[in-house]
Structure 1
Amino acid sequence: YVGQEKLRPQSGWLPLAFGLDWSRPPRQMNSTSFFYAHTDQWRYETLGVEEIISPTAPEGVWDGALIDYNVRSERMGWLPSAPQLKQNPLSIAKDAATAGLEAKDYVAKALKSGEFHMSCEDPDHPDNWPPHMFVWCSNLSRSPGKGHQYFLKHLLGTSHGVQGKDLGETGLQNPKAGVWPHYAPIRKIHLLETPDFRKSSTCGHSDLV
């Protein structure tokens, strides 16, 4: 919210969007982590953890890529994420009932056995893409989307100004906690809707306005 309008419909869409009739309070994912993963900015990241680590951090090996720490945080439940699992959540409750288990026990067992996988471990797999997105009163394809050129290339698959090279091409540090596909996907979003009264840049890239 930056002053354009008041969020009057909030009380209407919150229960629907976050399932408040099932559980409260909702744990919402921070948009920085979401877009860092899904715009593939992690594939171009050259900043090392050792360059920004706190001097008060415990002694030990602090290596890996920045995306590795996001993955670890999501695995341990510290960082809410969306989507959480590579598997379709709509079928999990049904499968758990068939197996005679509560959903939480069924998911924990499947994660331990390797049957289920966290989405954060492979954000470039088609099952983990955000294929449909609403953009409300934001201009993601320009300055509000930090690193918006990566938005244009990997989320929207349109003209872009990305000049950096994929770390896989340069032989630099690759993430350790997740899967590294050889090729970064182009255009993850198949339907972009923008309810907006301004003709923003995002409106120009949207399928529906």
Structure 2
Amino acid sequence: RLRPRLEPSAAPDERHQLLLHHSSQWRHEKMSIHEVLSPLADKSQFPEHMLDYHIRAERAGWLPSAPQLNRNPLQICRDAEAAGMSPVDYVTQSLKDGSLKFACEQPDNPDNFPRNMFVWRSNLLGSSGKGHEYMLKYLLGTKNGVMNEDLGKRDGFKPLEAEWQDEGAIGKLDLVTTLDFRMSSTCVYSDIVLPTATWYEK
């Protein structure tokens, strides 16, 4: 858990979750946080994997996430009503007793990753996205050029805050819709492509 006196250093950026969590790049992460940690710091107090810090930041409310929890919010409200509790009290109690978890703690669980992606005038699956090959493999489940093995196969350091699955979920998205004014790489991989106006057409 994060210590209360820690403060977020930057404005939240939801791209981090897409690029690190949902594209499963974290499964291939080679750089240890210990490589950039101050030599004066006690390394035993700091996990090695970057995903651990993202998960802690999401728990603290510093980073947005979608989905947030491993259960549909509408179902949570129904469960809270059935238990005679307010949704806030129900979620608080359920997180404490472990019956409800943050989705980021189980990133390869089918309940915890997005099924639809809408892209507006961005070549996310091409030049605009970082980790293009991982997106092709894990988000789309299509031909890709991922050449390195994941942490499990090469016995690398794994995140402490996330549940590890030996086989990462492949082909997470059911629908990709893109709105663009040119046929970008993302359009090529999309299920639906819709036209959008450029600034000079408005």
Q: Give the TM-score category using the shorter length.
A: 0.7 to 0.9
Q: Distance in 1 between matches of 2:169 and 2:77?
A: 31
Match of 1:98 in 2: 82
Q: Distance in 1 between matches of 2:22 and 2:147?
A: 18
Contact 2:55/2:161 (8 A) holds in 1: yes
Q: What does 1:59-78 correspond to in 2, within 5 Å?
A: 61-78=45-62
- For structure 1, the residue ranges without an aligned partner over 5 or more in a row are 1-26
In the alignment, which of 7, 30, 49 is matched to residue 14 of structure 2? 30
Residue identity (%) = 46
Match of 1:172 in 2: 156
TM-score of the two chains, using structure 2 as the length reference: 0.84
**Shift in CA distance, 59/204, structure 1 to aligned 2, threshold 3 Å:** closer
Contact 2:119/2:178 (8 A) holds in 1: yes
Q: Distance in 1 between matches of 2:75 and 2:139?
A: 27
Contact 2:120/2:179 (8 A) holds in 1: yes
Bigger drift between 151-160 and 59-68 goes to 59-68
In the alignment, which of 111, 116, 120 is matched to residue 132 of structure 1? 116
Q: Distance in 1 between matches of 2:181 and 2:108?
A: 33
Contact 1:29/1:81 (8 A) holds in 2: no
Supply the AA of the counterpart residue of 2:182: R
Supply the AA of the counterpart residue of 1:195: L
Cα deviation, residue 114, structure 1: 1.0
Match of 2:97 in 1: 113
Cα deviation, residue 110, structure 1: 0.5
Tell me if 1:123 matches 2:104: no
**Shift in CA distance, 58/175, structure 1 to aligned 2, threshold 3 Å:** closer
Tell me if 1:47 matches 2:21: no
Aligned residues: 183
Contact 1:39/1:154 (8 A) holds in 2: yes
- For structure 2, the residue ranges without an aligned partner over 5 or more in a row are 1-10, 194-202
TM-score of the two chains, using structure 1 as the length reference: 0.82
Contact 1:29/1:82 (8 A) holds in 2: no
Q: Distance in 1 between matches of 2:183 and 2:108?
A: 31
Contact 1:149/1:162 (8 A) holds in 2: yes
